[in-house]
Structure 1
């Protein structure tokens, strides 16, 4: 009996570009589907892929799709590094094929190489492929340009392999492609900024070779769209310490602080406010002293939390909560006194907003504000968070009411807040004093969704395990109920007893 490899060899030997091509390809597809992946791994290096690839030389899209399906199946069993070396010419031809379906197949392979440290080293030696990728960043087809950009951005993060991106041929091609239009130029900027974020040396090279310097001018250009794109990239650069130092040294932060004042005063420039808030929020997240250093940003953030425009209000609230994620951010925000207290009360008032997406964002922001790692012993932080929590009117009752809402995401977020607060003695006291709270937690029938039911069970489990005997928060009866609930498990269903009555004669 012939082996699958023999059958494949026989089919490929008879493969031609005539009318029988589709029939042969279909037979090959069926044969490949019948072979296990382990078997195919043994056969794949011996398959004549060149003959299959030749079937792409057609205008018949059905044939192209079928050929791509077969190639994907075979290439998926070959280590990407081996495929790059063995089929480099075919990859290059695929990137220049007229059909996007073929380009997408090759990009899928290249993306796997760019994401793999070892394969990435080999990819960095394939200059023609990389030059073609740079050219395709300038494609009018957004999906193709996006895939090309993604491959190069992944490569940009890969240590020494990424240095190929600053080789003279690649840099020159980037300069040529970026002249096409603003959109393409910013795709190239995105790749370069990703490279700059990896190390100080990378940033220094790009700065010395004038590859990113024009960004500082573009944040103040008269074109709002260009400014927004520049802000997005500069915000990415602000995520690394050497990037922040560069922005400070170039005077970009000071310039943007001035832009923020203008944007809040000029209705035409108000479109910049979200981008500027995101930028300064990122700065303050990594470097909380920004709150004191740039009071115009801090005041704008708090003012927008009370803005009548709900979209601006939510941006300001999300910015506030992003700053509050870390310990230093919480401490810096706490220095804002009454402004922060008013902001927290405003966030709490949105828990009952008419629109669920607003309520959900407010809940998630409050969760960030009040989150303390379960392992922390930082008493100062615990005192601050407790005070913030008490700024809400009847907070446990408020959260409990949200847990009864029909919108699943709201229930999940409210339960998440409870779960992160269980380790705090003060929070447990509030929970124990709320009428009906424990009964609601123990009622499995009150929660129709699997994820929320599991989270509710985890709240009970954590409560039962983290009780401080010295605090005597919960009665012995409540403790017994929680332990029984945990012992029965998340999915326990109590049997309903039924009494049958005999019918009369």
Structure 2
């Protein structure tokens, strides 16, 4: 196969319009298994393919990119930096976006490699060109530039190069291009800061982080909303949360939630503030966060009653997130009548809201009702059962009704609620006392989409996996469910066909 590739490369170099030959090379490369590709191409020179990138023929350029993607990925980062450094650097300034992305992607591989990165760090022009790619109009180019640059920060020499050389001035200069570009640099800073406490220290010392944090209280509410989103990303790491706490950001965002009541434009950034505390709660401790910042949970409850669907949706997602943990369930239960009213509102939305809100309500309810076997204490089982009864006077019939509606997303949402309670003793008892419910579970004709079949299979798995299922459901039902599970989610029973040829 290597000889074939060599022959095609020679043919390409000898024709004026090489599109057909390039297509043949692409086909030949796709026919080689990935595991064998490196051996087939490592001895080949790709100069002719790189030279053909300098063309106004879009089809030719795209074929060259497809070929180079396939070949370069098979080559080691050390081989790339030793043999194609100049070509990749040239690609960063190419007018075609796909060529830029190709170059950025391969340089990203190089800087990840401990032996190859030194060559790259010593090439100031390459790093500067990567930073300038963040200004590109095409977002996909900027995203790849951010991603590849962030990989440089995985080593101390890389951090030194970005933040202790004149490249920091290049970053700051690029930031002045526009609000959009400034926030792309912030995105890079947050991505680098998330790697480790050391990388966060470099970003903080550069002054870029304090600039981002100052945007939280800026006059432009849209920029404020974007800043909150970026700060939330940092909150996913423990060292990030510690830094934000040291800078007083939690208190600042709590005050922003409180002040949102008198701000007519708060709907633009309030969802982000709530998501920030939702992330904190799930990453650290729902109880500590809700006790330290009571404004957060009060606002979530308020938002479920808000007429704005965006506010309702964020509130539902946040409640589901909080209620997915045992500690979160207990925090919600402690609010007493407040949460009961909210849960009833969720039930109303699930039954008769707009379709998107119905789906999000069903998902939140299923998270609130889910209880892993190791957490099924008497108190917690009593809690989830009491919540289930808040749904309706006849909660089983209500969820069954939703599951039979001709909307796949609602059907699956209802099945997820049944899966949530299927592993709990009280849930199994309610299922057995509901006429026709076991037949509904075992009926493979209901819900024909892949998602519906998967959701039904998950429900069956929840029942069969429960230690109490065999006793509560009875041996015949339990065995039928085990058979369903063994056959898989997409099983179709064979129907015997009878030939009627010649019959009158």
Q: What range describes the TM-score normalised by the shorter chain of this pair?
A: 0.7 to 0.9
Change (3 A) 1:211 1:497: closer
Change (3 A) 1:450 1:339: same
1:22 aligns with 2:21: no
1:313-336 deviations in Å (ceiling 9; x for gaps): 111121222222323222222222
Tell me the TM-score normalised to structure 2 length: 0.87
1:407-444 deviations in Å (ceiling 9; x for gaps): 11222222223223322111111111112111111222
Change (3 A) 1:238 1:5: closer
Please, which of 138, 148, 152 is the counterpart of residue 151 of structure 1? Answer: 148
Please, which of 34, 37, 53 is the counterpart of residue 28 of structure 2? Answer: 34
Change (3 A) 1:240 1:419: same
1:310 aligns with 2:309: yes
Per the alignment, residue 243 of structure 2 pairs with: 246
Per the alignment, residue 185 of structure 1 pairs with: 182
Per the alignment, residue 330 of structure 1 pairs with: 329
How much does 1:354 deviate? 4.5
**Whole-Å separation in 2 of the counterparts to 1:130 and 1:324:** 45
**Whole-Å separation in 1 of the counterparts to 2:251 and 2:374:** 38
How much does 1:374 deviate? 3.9
**How many residues align structurally?**
495
How much does 1:450 deviate? 3.6
How much does 1:227 deviate? 0.9
Whether the 8 Å contact between 1:120 and 1:161 is mirrored in structure 2 is no
1:129-178 deviations in Å (ceiling 9; x for gaps): 3321111112233332222123224555x465763543424323212211
Please, which of 51, 56, 62 is the counterpart of residue 54 of structure 1? Answer: 51
**Whole-Å separation in 2 of the counterparts to 1:195 and 1:291:** 29
1:260 aligns with 2:260: no
Change (3 A) 1:117 1:327: farther
Per the alignment, residue 415 of structure 1 pairs with: 415
Tell me the TM-score normalised to structure 1 length: 0.87
Residues 105-114 or 241-250, more deviating: 105-114
Change (3 A) 1:486 1:190: closer
How much does 1:43 deviate? 3.5
**Whole-Å separation in 2 of the counterparts to 1:161 and 1:395:** 61
1:225 aligns with 2:219: no
Map 1:129-168; keep pairs closer than 5 Å: 129-156=126-153, 158=154, 163=159, 164-168=161-165
Map 1:65-214; keep pairs closer than 5 Å: 65-112=62-109, 127-156=124-153, 158=154, 163=159, 164-214=161-211
Question: Structure 2 regions of 5+ residues with no counterpart?
Answer: none
1:366 aligns with 2:365: yes
Per the alignment, residue 212 of structure 2 pairs with: 215
Tell me the SS of whatever aligns to 2:130: helix
Whether the 8 Å contact between 1:159 and 1:198 is mirrored in structure 2 is no
How much does 1:361 deviate? 0.7
Per the alignment, residue 343 of structure 2 pairs with: 344
Whether the 8 Å contact between 1:441 and 1:457 is mirrored in structure 2 is no
Change (3 A) 1:427 1:107: same
Per the alignment, residue 387 of structure 2 pairs with: 388
How much does 1:213 deviate? 0.8
**Whole-Å separation in 2 of the counterparts to 1:104 and 1:201:** 29
Stretches (4+) displaced over 6 A: 114-122, 496-500
How much does 1:45 deviate? 2.3
**Whole-Å separation in 2 of the counterparts to 1:410 and 1:120:** 50
**Whole-Å separation in 2 of the counterparts to 1:37 and 1:403:** 48
1:281 aligns with 2:278: yes
Tell me the SS of whatever aligns to 2:252: helix
**Whole-Å separation in 2 of the counterparts to 1:2 and 1:162:** 37
Residues 448-457 or 158-167, more deviating: 158-167
Residues 380-389 or 112-121, more deviating: 112-121
**Whole-Å separation in 1 of the counterparts to 2:151 and 2:233:** 15
How much does 1:499 deviate? 12
How much does 1:240 deviate? 2.2
The Cα RMSD (Å) is 3.2
